[in-house]
Amino acid sequence: MEQYEPDRLTPPQVAAVRRSMRSGRAALTRRSLLRATAGGALAAGGLGALSGCGIPAAGKTQGGIPAEDHSVREKTVNFSNWTEYIDVDDSGKHHPTLETFRKRTGIRVDYTEDINDNNEFFGKIKPQLAAGQDTGRDLIVLTDWLAARLIRLGWVQKLDPANLPHAYSNLSPQFRDPDWDPGRSYSYPWQGISTVIAYNKKALDGIEVKSVSDLLDNPRLKGRVGFLSEMRDSMGMTLLDMGKDPARFTGDDYDAAIARLQKAVDKGQIRRFTGNDYT
Protein backbone atom coordinates (compact mmCIF):
# COMPACT_ATOMS: atom_id res chain seq x y z
CA MET A 1 0.00 0.00 0.00
CA GLU A 2 1.17 3.49 -0.74
CA GLN A 3 1.67 5.14 2.59
CA TYR A 4 0.34 8.63 2.92
CA GLU A 5 0.51 11.48 5.34
CA PRO A 6 -2.63 13.52 4.68
CA ASP A 7 -2.98 17.12 5.69
CA ARG A 8 -6.64 16.43 6.26
CA LEU A 9 -9.33 13.86 5.64
CA THR A 10 -11.12 15.11 2.54
CA PRO A 11 -14.92 14.79 2.18
CA PRO A 12 -14.50 11.88 -0.27
CA GLN A 13 -12.23 10.13 2.24
CA VAL A 14 -14.77 10.63 5.01
CA ALA A 15 -17.52 9.29 2.75
CA ALA A 16 -15.36 6.29 1.88
CA VAL A 17 -14.78 5.55 5.55
CA ARG A 18 -18.50 5.75 6.23
CA ARG A 19 -19.24 3.37 3.35
CA SER A 20 -16.49 1.03 4.54
CA MET A 21 -17.93 0.84 8.03
CA ARG A 22 -21.41 0.06 6.74
CA SER A 23 -20.74 -1.86 3.54
CA GLY A 24 -20.65 -5.56 2.85
CA ARG A 25 -23.68 -7.73 2.43
CA ALA A 26 -27.01 -6.11 3.18
CA ALA A 27 -27.68 -8.75 5.81
CA LEU A 28 -24.50 -7.90 7.67
CA THR A 29 -25.08 -6.07 10.90
CA ARG A 30 -22.79 -3.47 12.37
CA ARG A 31 -22.00 -5.99 15.07
CA SER A 32 -20.85 -8.66 12.62
CA LEU A 33 -18.78 -6.13 10.71
CA LEU A 34 -16.91 -4.79 13.70
CA ARG A 35 -16.50 -7.84 15.87
CA ALA A 36 -14.38 -9.54 13.17
CA THR A 37 -14.81 -12.85 14.92
CA ALA A 38 -13.16 -14.83 12.15
CA GLY A 39 -10.89 -12.09 10.84
CA GLY A 40 -9.38 -13.63 7.73
CA ALA A 41 -11.82 -15.48 5.53
CA LEU A 42 -10.23 -17.89 3.08
CA ALA A 43 -12.02 -17.37 -0.21
CA ALA A 44 -11.56 -19.60 -3.24
CA GLY A 45 -11.19 -17.96 -6.61
CA GLY A 46 -8.70 -16.92 -9.28
CA LEU A 47 -7.25 -19.51 -11.63
CA GLY A 48 -9.96 -21.62 -13.22
CA ALA A 49 -12.59 -20.32 -10.84
CA LEU A 50 -12.92 -16.64 -11.50
CA SER A 51 -11.74 -16.90 -15.07
CA GLY A 52 -14.67 -19.11 -15.94
CA CYS A 53 -17.48 -17.32 -14.15
CA GLY A 54 -18.78 -15.53 -17.22
CA ILE A 55 -18.99 -12.23 -15.36
CA PRO A 56 -20.07 -9.35 -17.62
CA ALA A 57 -17.80 -6.33 -17.60
CA ALA A 58 -18.45 -3.97 -14.68
CA GLY A 59 -21.46 -6.06 -13.81
CA LYS A 60 -22.82 -8.13 -10.97
CA THR A 61 -23.88 -11.75 -11.05
CA GLN A 62 -26.36 -13.54 -8.87
CA GLY A 63 -24.86 -16.96 -9.32
CA GLY A 64 -22.27 -16.95 -12.06
CA ILE A 65 -21.40 -19.78 -14.41
CA PRO A 66 -19.55 -22.69 -12.77
CA ALA A 67 -15.87 -22.63 -13.68
CA GLU A 68 -14.11 -25.63 -15.16
CA ASP A 69 -12.25 -27.66 -12.56
CA HIS A 70 -8.58 -27.92 -13.53
CA SER A 71 -7.43 -29.56 -10.31
CA VAL A 72 -6.89 -33.01 -11.85
CA ARG A 73 -4.23 -31.80 -14.29
CA GLU A 74 -2.98 -28.66 -12.56
CA LYS A 75 -1.12 -29.54 -9.37
CA THR A 76 -0.32 -26.00 -8.30
CA VAL A 77 -2.36 -23.66 -6.11
CA ASN A 78 -1.69 -19.91 -6.24
CA PHE A 79 -2.29 -18.54 -2.76
CA SER A 80 -2.34 -14.81 -1.86
CA ASN A 81 -2.15 -13.80 1.79
CA TRP A 82 -1.21 -11.00 4.15
CA THR A 83 2.31 -10.49 5.49
CA GLU A 84 3.25 -12.80 8.37
CA TYR A 85 -0.07 -14.67 8.35
CA ILE A 86 1.46 -18.14 8.14
CA ASP A 87 3.97 -20.26 10.04
CA VAL A 88 7.69 -20.19 9.18
CA ASP A 89 10.58 -22.39 10.26
CA ASP A 90 13.60 -21.20 12.21
CA SER A 91 15.35 -20.10 9.03
CA GLY A 92 12.42 -17.88 8.10
CA LYS A 93 12.48 -19.26 4.56
CA HIS A 94 10.08 -22.19 4.64
CA HIS A 95 6.43 -22.67 5.59
CA PRO A 96 5.93 -26.03 7.36
CA THR A 97 2.17 -26.03 6.79
CA LEU A 98 2.53 -25.62 3.03
CA GLU A 99 5.32 -28.17 2.78
CA THR A 100 3.30 -30.70 4.77
CA PHE A 101 0.34 -30.06 2.46
CA ARG A 102 2.53 -30.66 -0.61
CA LYS A 103 3.89 -33.93 0.77
CA ARG A 104 0.43 -35.24 1.61
CA THR A 105 -1.35 -34.17 -1.59
CA GLY A 106 1.31 -33.74 -4.26
CA ILE A 107 0.02 -30.21 -4.84
CA ARG A 108 2.53 -27.37 -4.87
CA VAL A 109 1.55 -24.01 -3.38
CA ASP A 110 2.86 -20.81 -4.92
CA TYR A 111 2.54 -18.58 -1.88
CA THR A 112 2.59 -14.78 -2.19
CA GLU A 113 2.29 -12.16 0.54
CA ASP A 114 0.74 -9.44 -1.61
CA ILE A 115 -2.27 -8.31 0.45
CA ASN A 116 -1.60 -5.16 2.43
CA ASP A 117 -5.05 -3.61 2.78
CA ASN A 118 -8.53 -4.88 1.90
CA ASN A 119 -9.63 -1.90 -0.18
CA GLU A 120 -6.28 -1.64 -1.93
CA PHE A 121 -6.32 -5.32 -2.87
CA PHE A 122 -9.93 -5.15 -4.03
CA GLY A 123 -9.00 -2.25 -6.29
CA LYS A 124 -6.21 -4.38 -7.74
CA ILE A 125 -8.34 -7.40 -8.64
CA LYS A 126 -11.72 -5.77 -9.32
CA PRO A 127 -11.11 -4.86 -13.00
CA GLN A 128 -10.18 -8.44 -13.84
CA LEU A 129 -13.05 -9.94 -11.87
CA ALA A 130 -15.58 -7.54 -13.35
CA ALA A 131 -14.37 -8.51 -16.83
CA GLY A 132 -14.51 -12.24 -16.06
CA GLN A 133 -10.74 -12.55 -16.36
CA ASP A 134 -8.29 -14.74 -14.48
CA THR A 135 -6.58 -12.99 -11.57
CA GLY A 136 -3.87 -15.64 -11.37
CA ARG A 137 -4.96 -16.58 -7.86
CA ASP A 138 -6.75 -19.67 -6.54
CA LEU A 139 -6.99 -18.77 -2.85
CA ILE A 140 -7.09 -15.35 -1.26
CA VAL A 141 -7.33 -14.35 2.39
CA LEU A 142 -9.58 -11.38 3.05
CA THR A 143 -11.31 -9.92 6.06
CA ASP A 144 -14.85 -11.26 6.32
CA TRP A 145 -16.62 -8.13 5.04
CA LEU A 146 -14.69 -8.17 1.77
CA ALA A 147 -15.06 -11.93 1.38
CA ALA A 148 -18.80 -11.31 1.74
CA ARG A 149 -18.70 -8.70 -1.01
CA LEU A 150 -16.92 -11.00 -3.46
CA ILE A 151 -19.39 -13.78 -2.73
CA ARG A 152 -22.33 -11.42 -3.20
CA LEU A 153 -20.94 -10.26 -6.55
CA GLY A 154 -20.64 -13.85 -7.77
CA TRP A 155 -16.87 -13.63 -8.14
CA VAL A 156 -15.97 -16.65 -6.00
CA GLN A 157 -16.22 -20.32 -6.91
CA LYS A 158 -18.33 -22.57 -4.74
CA LEU A 159 -16.30 -25.14 -2.82
CA ASP A 160 -16.85 -28.85 -3.40
CA PRO A 161 -17.55 -30.51 -0.02
CA ALA A 162 -16.27 -33.81 -1.43
CA ASN A 163 -12.80 -32.29 -1.63
CA LEU A 164 -13.03 -30.96 1.93
CA PRO A 165 -14.37 -33.95 3.88
CA HIS A 166 -13.24 -32.78 7.32
CA ALA A 167 -13.06 -29.00 6.97
CA TYR A 168 -16.56 -28.17 8.17
CA SER A 169 -16.62 -30.66 11.05
CA ASN A 170 -13.28 -29.35 12.28
CA LEU A 171 -14.59 -25.80 12.58
CA SER A 172 -15.66 -24.45 15.94
CA PRO A 173 -19.46 -24.04 15.92
CA GLN A 174 -19.31 -20.23 16.04
CA PHE A 175 -17.49 -20.16 12.69
CA ARG A 176 -19.67 -22.57 10.74
CA ASP A 177 -22.56 -20.42 9.58
CA PRO A 178 -21.78 -16.73 9.10
CA ASP A 179 -24.78 -14.88 7.69
CA TRP A 180 -22.78 -13.94 4.59
CA ASP A 181 -21.77 -17.55 3.80
CA PRO A 182 -24.14 -20.03 5.48
CA GLY A 183 -22.64 -23.50 5.70
CA ARG A 184 -19.29 -22.24 4.42
CA SER A 185 -20.11 -22.82 0.77
CA TYR A 186 -17.48 -20.37 -0.47
CA SER A 187 -15.05 -19.66 2.35
CA TYR A 188 -13.27 -20.97 5.43
CA PRO A 189 -11.63 -19.07 8.28
CA TRP A 190 -7.88 -18.70 8.08
CA GLN A 191 -6.95 -16.78 11.21
CA GLY A 192 -8.60 -14.73 13.92
CA ILE A 193 -7.59 -11.12 14.45
CA SER A 194 -7.40 -8.66 17.31
CA THR A 195 -7.02 -4.91 17.19
CA VAL A 196 -4.59 -3.69 19.83
CA ILE A 197 -2.30 -0.80 20.70
CA ALA A 198 1.38 -1.64 20.35
CA TYR A 199 4.36 0.54 21.15
CA ASN A 200 8.06 0.39 21.94
CA LYS A 201 8.44 1.57 25.52
CA LYS A 202 12.19 2.09 25.20
CA ALA A 203 11.79 4.23 22.10
CA LEU A 204 9.23 6.37 23.92
CA ASP A 205 11.50 7.09 26.89
CA GLY A 206 9.20 5.33 29.31
CA ILE A 207 5.94 6.90 28.12
CA GLU A 208 3.06 4.50 28.79
CA VAL A 209 0.29 4.21 26.24
CA LYS A 210 -2.85 2.68 27.68
CA SER A 211 -5.61 4.08 25.49
CA VAL A 212 -6.48 5.70 22.19
CA SER A 213 -6.74 8.95 24.13
CA ASP A 214 -3.06 8.66 24.97
CA LEU A 215 -2.26 8.24 21.29
CA LEU A 216 -4.35 11.18 20.18
CA ASP A 217 -3.79 13.64 23.01
CA ASN A 218 -0.31 13.18 24.45
CA PRO A 219 1.84 16.00 22.98
CA ARG A 220 4.98 13.92 23.46
CA LEU A 221 3.67 11.50 20.85
CA LYS A 222 3.03 14.16 18.20
CA GLY A 223 4.01 12.89 14.77
CA ARG A 224 4.81 9.45 16.13
CA VAL A 225 1.39 7.79 15.92
CA GLY A 226 0.24 5.42 13.21
CA PHE A 227 -3.32 4.23 12.59
CA LEU A 228 -4.51 1.40 10.37
CA SER A 229 -6.10 2.28 7.04
CA GLU A 230 -8.62 -0.49 7.80
CA MET A 231 -11.32 1.76 9.21
CA ARG A 232 -13.19 -1.03 10.94
CA ASP A 233 -10.16 -1.36 13.19
CA SER A 234 -9.31 2.31 13.63
CA MET A 235 -12.88 3.52 13.99
CA GLY A 236 -13.82 0.62 16.25
CA MET A 237 -10.97 1.43 18.64
CA THR A 238 -11.80 5.14 18.57
CA LEU A 239 -15.47 4.52 19.30
CA LEU A 240 -14.58 2.23 22.20
CA ASP A 241 -12.27 4.87 23.63
CA MET A 242 -15.15 7.34 23.49
CA GLY A 243 -17.31 4.98 25.52
CA LYS A 244 -19.41 3.89 22.53
CA ASP A 245 -20.31 0.37 21.48
CA PRO A 246 -18.77 -0.25 18.02
CA ALA A 247 -21.59 -2.70 17.33
CA ARG A 248 -24.32 -0.14 18.05
CA PHE A 249 -22.93 3.26 17.18
CA THR A 250 -25.22 6.05 15.98
CA GLY A 251 -24.61 8.46 13.14
CA ASP A 252 -23.69 11.15 15.66
CA ASP A 253 -21.26 8.77 17.38
CA TYR A 254 -19.63 8.01 14.06
CA ASP A 255 -19.31 11.66 13.08
CA ALA A 256 -17.81 12.48 16.47
CA ALA A 257 -15.22 9.73 16.06
CA ILE A 258 -14.33 10.96 12.57
CA ALA A 259 -13.99 14.50 13.92
CA ARG A 260 -11.69 13.24 16.64
CA LEU A 261 -9.39 11.55 14.15
CA GLN A 262 -9.57 14.59 11.88
CA LYS A 263 -8.42 16.82 14.71
CA ALA A 264 -5.47 14.52 15.39
CA VAL A 265 -4.52 14.59 11.71
CA ASP A 266 -4.83 18.37 11.50
CA LYS A 267 -2.52 18.98 14.44
CA GLY A 268 0.05 16.45 13.22
CA GLN A 269 -0.49 13.95 16.03
CA ILE A 270 -1.08 11.09 13.57
CA ARG A 271 1.93 10.54 11.35
CA ARG A 272 0.32 8.23 8.84
CA PHE A 273 -2.36 5.65 8.08
CA THR A 274 -0.93 2.33 6.97
CA GLY A 275 -1.97 -1.11 5.83
CA ASN A 276 -0.30 -4.35 6.83
CA ASP A 277 3.07 -2.94 5.77
CA TYR A 278 3.46 -1.57 9.28
CA THR A 279 5.02 -4.98 10.00
**What residue ranges do the domains of the chain occupy?**
11-23+195-274, 37-191
Least confident of 68-72, 108-112, 220-224, 260-264: 68-72
pLDDT of residue 263: 94
Average pLDDT for residues 241-258, to the nearest whole number?
89
pLDDT of residue 30: 34
pLDDT of residue 39: 33
Cβ contact 238:220 at 8 Å: no
Residue 191: CB atoms within 10 Å: 14
pLDDT of residue 202: 87
The three-state (H, E, C) secondary structure of 40-77, written as one string: EEEEECCCCCHHHCCCCCCCCCCCCCCCCCCCCCCCEE
pLDDT in tens, 15-70: 545 544 544 333 333 333 333 323 333 333 332 222 223 333 344 544 455 566 66
CA distances 80 to 4, 137, 180, 253, Å, are 24, 7, 21, 36
108: which strand partners? 76
pLDDT of residue 191: 82
pLDDT in tens, 90-146: 888 889 999 999 999 899 999 999 998 888 899 999 999 999 888 999 999 998 889
User: Which CATH code, of 1.25.10.10, 3.30.70.100, 3.40.190.10, 3.40.50.300, is assigned to 37-191?
Assistant: 3.40.190.10
pLDDT of residue 96: 93
pLDDT of residue 11: 55
Average pLDDT for residues 58-85, to the nearest whole number?
71
pLDDT of residue 151: 93
Better pLDDT: 19 or 84: 84
pLDDT of residue 205: 86
pLDDT in tens, 143-200: 888 999 999 999 999 998 888 888 899 999 988 999 899 999 999 998 877 788 888 8
pLDDT of residue 221: 94
Residue 56: CB atoms within 10 Å: 11
Tell whether the torsion through CA atoms of 80, 84, 89 and 92 is positive or negative: positive
